[in-house]
Structure 1
Amino acid sequence: MEQRRSDAPSPQQDAASNMAPSGSRPLAPVIGNGSETTPPPTQPDTAETSQEEQPFAAWDQMTHASIARLTAGVSPASLLQAYGDWWTHLLLSPGKQAQLALKAQRKFVRLADYSARAMQGGECPRCIEPLAEDHRFDAPEWQQWPFNLLHQSFLLNQQWWYNAMTGVPGVTRHHEEVANFVTRQVLDIFSPANSPLTNPRVLERTLEQGGANLVSGATHAWEDAVNFYLHRPPAGAEHYLPGESVAITPGEVVYRNRLIELIQYRPATEQVQAEPILIVPAWVMKYYILDLSPHNSLVRWLVEQGHTVFMISWKNPDAEERDLGVDDYRELGIMAALEVIGAILPSRKVHATGYCLGGTLLSIAAAVMARAGDDRLASLTLFASITDFAEAGELELFIDDSQVHFLEDAMRQQGYLEAWQMKSAFQLLQSDDLIWSRLVNDYLMGERLPTFDLMAWSTDGTRMPYRMHSEYLRRLYLGNELARGRYRVDGHPVLLSSITLPAFLVATRKDHISPWQSVYRNQLYLDGDVTFVLTSGGHNAGVVSEPGHPRRVYQIADKPAQAHHAGADTWRAEVPEREGSWWPEWQAWLQEHSSGWVAPPTMGNAEQGYPPLAEAPGQYVRER
């Protein structure tokens, strides 16, 4: 694919032009030395309990596990700490109290003035506008009396509580964010959009259908409750089952151990690129996010472009896998897959690709390999992956010492974290889209939101082993050991700077799980040439961005290894935006770092002990 440079490079790009490789992408802007502050250390892990203390500790663990079943794994102590910190400092801040009282008085006057004007009928300018991402009150019915007054008073009240929960002197940033987040969730319960008595669209539909919409909604709610209780897919997801309508790219399972199945996809071209691609998805998701329907399957698209693709499919763990940790996932997953690929394609280097936490694990493996002089990797690609957890996104709201300890007790008895508990956390992060809009449409309007492949995939979660989940929460999220050079494998620190491979980093603008600025920070640690892509969409939709997808844009630029690191905001402001999918950019980059075309490989290698075991997608992906 022929690509083009920007016509007018920035001064920073000109400054680095003497180090620029030939190609079609602009160079990243260069400002400063990219230094970052180091996050404060976390508290060390608690010591193991003595034999005398074990019965008492077991009592506590049983209590915490019972509470966790009622709170979806959320620690009440963590919430009490956050609100206690906020409330105590608010009581000690008379200036903040006076400011809030003044704001309340002004909002009451604004609402009273608006109410008087709105009762006169006709067009009435709103006294407060919703946030840009808030579309609950977009319908014209909300501009009619009394619904205009209802939603305006709600928005004013919501704004006041935001002012109350933020900016209180002395409150820690984490506690402020937690208290503000929980308060916002509670306020949304009382939103006029979520009640059949105060939502004009629901009232109109109820009058039109004589209440039939509420009957249909009650039926939908019952179906969802039964499916949740019986651990069955939600309504509509049965049309997107792996091996039937999704995850249908032809291939073979060529290796299986207690943790992974390795899928090799059949070639679709007469010749293929010499270096294969190994994709490492996150262990918290099913791999077929990258092999959805044929029209938006990244795997199928890569195969059609002439690439040999291998995919790790993680087992959905149960109590038997409770003691598998991060090192086990690295050894039984990535390293085992590389051994098999080496037997099928001897003397071929591998384009290693990781998605989300799979990319974090892959970065650890690549650093360990570099330290050992293992040169089996040709390049490193990370999709929405972070290695510096200093600012790990809104998921940090659910991660602190109290919360992690509570989760450990909840997981200790059953040996794993339930998929629905992680799913609940993700849903709360986008509650407007994933909870309240569904309540209104499915249960109040009586209309089922159409299910599509990506939505069905999001309901097909995986469990997480007790030890693995505890280790990555404590060592990566809380301790940020990887970025600080304190993460150890086999007694040696893992240094990301030892990775000198060419790297391709993909971030998405609306990512709530891996904020794009944190993905961008990977460049601080990698010591090779880096190509960074920022694309529209969220954590999943931005990655599943096939050519031809409407309204997709992206930015892309190269940063040579010797160039200084520019700030994230500077990069976004200066790198030109392009329309379309970023997939062709990655494919062209892979081709640039490959050695040429060769005949397709065999499927597996029976002589080396790796015969095809089953057709893709295998058995692990079907486990619920």
Structure 2
Amino acid sequence: MTTQPTTPAMPDFEALSRNAGQFMEELGRAAARYVAPEDGLPVQPKPPQEASDLVRTLGTVAETWLSDPKRTLEAQTKLSEAFVALWGSTWFRLQGREAPPVAQPEPKDARFSDAEWSSNPYFDFIKQGYLITTRWAEGLVNEAEGIDDHTRHKAQFYLRQLAGALSPSNFVMTNPELIRHTLQENGANLVRGMKMLQEDIQAGSGELRVRQTDRDAFKFGVDVAVTPGEVVFRNDLMELIQYAPRTETVLKRPFLIVPPWINKFYILDLNPAKSLIGWMVDQGLTVFVISWVNPDERHRDKDFESYMREGIEAAIDAIGVSTGETEVAAAGYCVGGTLLAVMLAMQAATGNTRIKSATFLTTQVDFTHAGDLKVFADEDQIRQIETQMAERGYLDGAKMANAFNMLRPNDLIWSYVVNNYVKGKAPSAFDLLYWNADATRMPAANHAFYLRNCYLENNLAQGKMVLGNIRLDLKKVTVPVFNLATREDHIAPAISVFEGSSKFGGPVDYVLAGSGHIAGVVNPPAKLKYGYWTGGKAEGRLEDWISAATETKGSWWPYWFQWLEAQAPERVPARKPGGDALPSLAPAPGTYVRMKA
């Protein structure tokens, strides 16, 4: 049963008036920081690139409806009927009578969890009116005739951004919880919020960078990235970390992790309880991980081939020097996995097959069903991104961070806007969100190649990608593949990973884990969270595969290690980082990971 909120005490009107004045002053200072950043020179604010594309895309949808007056009238009538029903329901409730809701939020929608959204007819009307309108607009996009699939996808995505921004839960006067909170604090929350807004604009060098956690709460090697090891190799593009053993013997075949360069590697080593790297070491693996440089203008010409040659190939060379082994097993996470797949195709083409098995963690090689990030990857937008990158030689890390946050705007943007700038509360310390905010830049040559060859043209899946004058064909890759997808992934959708499994020429073990792109991967056995599904070859429809698959509770990690160990079970005495040939250049997690965007 829903509990009624307690009636707040009368505010201190003198304090409320004083805080209102301070709020206006702080708001003015925040605006000044936005239009005149640190160099003191005034700037003309420009709408973000996405805003122009939003107007153009939704305008295209509107044109299709306006071209058919009959359908337009039917759509308008449908909206009017819903509001008439809502007005009638609200009238009954104002008379003290019960009335069923016309529209209800989804059960997981935390925006409307406060009791007054349902118990108070005024706020209930606002909530239901918002839900009716946004769902009606979604229907217009879904049912628009004569638009291509990409335009419809973009319209759906941009409509979610608008719906998130315009939610009544974001504003003081339309959110019962925020009204109570503001009256209880006599407006002091708004003053604190404006001060934090100023700080976040300053942190973004004139652009708002919404904080999601305490930026000063974590220290490398102490709170995050804590597994002991040494940097045993470094070049202009990466540091190679070898982790110290924790077992008397280790698998003879070393293991290399290729993380994404879009984020930093320590998502796999957040803390001892959630460290996949630490768990691998505990199983008796000699673990190496690439820590990519946070690039700047000096790296503008580092392309996809550079990341393959100076990244994976250089790492395997150094592993050979450290361990004396010529063969490795490797894992790639997200775009790191895409690079690993390219490396495998290159080795298959040249006959230099030093990678004997591959583990792909939420990795796409076929970008047909690449999810909402495809919204940013049509010809016009890629050309604009290339123009931006040409000015500096790289894509600013905040651009990619914003794109990822837009995949879940209510959770990753607006909940923090309300908490920080309206409630005036500093977000709590959370290692995952600290990592999420630790953005990285991307070299112009590499990022342009990736966007065009993967998202736009899907060349790798079609056997059309060319690197070093060699055409790459994944069908020639015959090494064993472990292909992990997660059910709720917004970045590498499960269907995309599923269909990508058929592009390889050898045996593929497709495994579907619970949760999303990060939590589904970083799911340690001790936590007993989520679960995973196994079902043999990835073929047919994903829905049919899931219905026939076997579900296992808990982490996929032990299942994967059994798969890996079965391929090369021989063990040798544990190896110290660098062996006798590579001196330590720095303790883990190294120096490149500390470079801020």
TM-score (norm 2): 0.88
Secondary structure in structure 1 of the residue aligned to 2:523: coil
- CA deviations on 1:420-445 (whole Å, 9 max, x unpaired) are 01111111111100111112222222
CA shift in 2, pair 1:69/1:101, >3 Å: closer
Report matched runs for 1:582-621 at 5 Å.
Answer: 582-607=556-581, 610-621=582-593
Asked if structure 2 preserves the Cα contact closer than 8 Å seen for 1:509 and 1:536, the reply is: yes
After TM superposition, give the deviation of residue 537 of structure 1 in Å.
Answer: 1.7
Q: Which residue of 2 aligns with 1:270?
A: 248
> In 2, distance between residues paired with 1:272 and 1:191?
54
Instruction: Say whether residues 1:220 and 2:192 are aligned partners.
Output: no
Deviation string, structure 1 residues 288-313 (Cα, Å, up to 9, x no partner): 01111111111111101111100000
SS of aligned partner of 2:50 = coil
2:147 to 171, 180, 203: 171
The equivalent residue for 1:622 is 594
Deviation at 1:326, TM superposition (A): 0.5
Q: Does 2:345 correspond to 1:367?
A: yes
Structure 1 Cα separation of the partners of residues 173 and 303 of structure 2:
51
In the TM superposition, 1:18-167 aligns within 5 A as 70-74=46-50, 76=52, 78-121=53-96, 124-143=99-118, 144-167=120-143
Confirm whether residue 387 of structure 1 aligns to residue 365 of structure 2.
yes
Distance 1:230 1:86, change over 3 A: closer
Q: Is the 8 A contact 1:73 1:407 kept in 2?
A: no
* Contact kept? 1:345, 1:601, Cα under 8 Å: yes
Q: Secondary structure of the residue that 1:316 maps to in structure 2? A: coil
Task: Identify the residue that residue 541 of structure 2 maps to in structure 1.
Answer: 567
Residue aligned with 1:245, SS:
coil
Where does residue 461 of structure 1 map in the other structure?
439
Contact (CA 8 Å) 1:196, 1:444: kept in 2 or not?
A: yes
Task: Identify the range of structure 1 (523-532 vs 321-330) with the bigger mean alpha-carbon deviation.
Answer: 523-532
Secondary structure at 1:103 match in 2: helix
Contact 2:116–2:176 at 8 Å: present in 1 too? Answer: yes
User: 1:604 is paired with a residue of what secondary structure?
Assistant: coil
For the residues of structure 2 that align with 1:301 and 1:134, how far apart are their CA atoms?
A: 35
Q: Which residue of 2 aligns with 1:204?
A: 180
Partner Cα separation in structure 2 for residue 75 and residue 495 of structure 1:
38
The aligned residue for residue 24 of structure 1 is: none
Cα shift at 1:179: 2.3
Taking the TM superposition and a 5 Å limit, the aligned residue runs for 1:482-501 are 482-501=460-479
User: 2:289 maps to which residue?
Assistant: 311
Q: CA deviation at 1:321?
A: 0.4
Give the RMSD, CA atoms, in angstroms: 2.2
Deviations 1:265-293 (A, max 9, x none): 01011111111110000111101011111
> Aligned with 1:504: secondary structure?
strand
Q: Tell me the CA shift for residue 209 of structure 1.
A: 2.5
Contact persistence 2:535–2:548 (CA under 8 A) = no
- Structure 1: runs of 5 or more not aligned: 1-66
Q: Is the 8 A contact 2:210 2:416 kept in 1?
A: no
Aligned residues: 552
Residues 572-621 of structure 1, C-alpha deviations (whole Å, 9 max, x = no match): 122132211111111221111223221112421454xx322111111110
2:424 aligned residue: 446
Change (3 A) 1:201 1:233: closer
Q: Is the 8 A contact 2:344 2:477 kept in 1?
A: yes
Specify whether residues 586 and 161 from structure 1 end up closer, same or farther in structure 2 by C-alpha distance, changes over 3 A only. same
SS of the residue 2:105 aligns to: coil
> 1:550 offset after TM fit, Å?
5.0
Q: Distance in 2 between matches of 1:132 and 1:556?
A: 29
2:553 aligned residue (579, 595, 613): 579
Following superposition, the deviation at residue 233 of structure 1 comes to 10
Worse-superposed segment, 385-394 or 533-542: 533-542
Given residue 221 of structure 1, which amino acid in structure 2 is its aligned partner?
Answer: L
Residue type of the alignment partner of 1:163: G
Paired AA for residue 134 in structure 1: D
Query: Shift in Å at residue 529 of structure 1?
Result: 1.9
User: Residue type matched to 2:586 in 1?
Assistant: A
Paired AA for residue 430 in structure 1 = R
**2: distance between equivalents of 1:456 and 1:288?**
11
2:389 corresponds in structure 1 to 411
Shifted more, 234-243 versus 153-162: the winner is 234-243
Give the one of 516, 529, 532 matched to 2:507: 529
Task: Out of 231-240 and 485-494, give the one that drifted further.
Answer: 231-240
Secondary structure of the corresponding residue to residue 427 of structure 1: helix
Go from structure 1 to structure 2 and tell me whether the alpha carbon gap of 1:241 and 1:96 turns closer, same or farther (over 3 Å shift).
Answer: farther
1:569, distance to aligned residue in structure 2 (A): 1.0
Aligned partners of 1:351 and 1:380 also within 8 Å: yes
What amino acid is the match of 1:225?
I
Identity %: 38
Distance 1:498 1:337 in 2: 23
Which letter does structure 1 place at the counterpart of 2:86?
Answer: L
Which residue does the alignment assign to 2:36?
Answer: none
Return the offset for 1:489.
2.2
C-alpha contact 2:214 2:427 (8 A) present in aligned 1: no
Q: Which moved more, 1:505-514 or 1:202-211?
A: 202-211
More divergent stretch after superposition (407-416 vs 538-547): 538-547
Helix, strand or coil: the match of 2:230? strand
User: Aligned runs of 1:241-280 on 2, under 5 Å?
Assistant: 241-280=219-258
CA distance in 2 between partners of 1:341 and 1:181 (Å): 44
Check whether the contact 1:233–1:459 (CA below 8 A) recurs between aligned residues.
Answer: no
TM-superposed CA distance for 1:190, in Å, is 2.6
SS in 2 for 1:239: coil
Moved more, 344-353 or 459-468: 344-353
Q: CA deviation at 1:154?
A: 0.8
Distance 1:193 1:460, change over 3 A: same
Q: Is the 8 A contact 1:68 1:74 kept in 2?
A: no
Q: How far is 1:539 from its partner?
A: 1.1
Query: CA distance change for structure 1 residues 406 and 554 in 2, over 3 Å: closer, same or farther?
Result: same
Q: Is the 2:539–2:545 contact (alpha carbons within 8 Å) kept by the matching residues of 1?
A: no
Amino acid at match of 2:553: E
Q: Does 1:510 align with 2:488?
A: yes
CA distance in structure 2 between the aligned counterparts of 1:82 and 1:189, rounded to whole angstroms = 18
Which segment is superposed worse, 106-115 or 351-360? 106-115
2:170 corresponding residue in structure 1: 194
The structure-2 alpha-carbon separation of the partners of 1:340 and 1:72, relative to structure 1 and needing over 3 Å to count, comes to farther
For the residues of structure 1 that align with 2:521 and 2:330, how far apart are their CA atoms? 16
Residues 412 and 138 (structure 1), Cα distance of their counterparts in 2 relative to 1, 3 Å cut: same
SS at match of 2:216: helix
Counterpart contact for 1:81–1:175, Cα < 8 Å: no
Are 1:165 and 1:179, in contact at CA under 8 Å, matched by a contact in 2? yes
Whether the 8 Å CA contact 1:514–1:539 is kept in 2: the answer is: yes
For the residues of structure 2 that align with 1:221 and 1:125, how far apart are their CA atoms? 40
**Partners of 1:382 and 1:322 in 2: CA distance:** 27
Judged with a 3 Å threshold, the aligned counterparts in structure 2 of structure 1 residues 125 and 441 are, in CA distance, closer, same or farther, namely farther
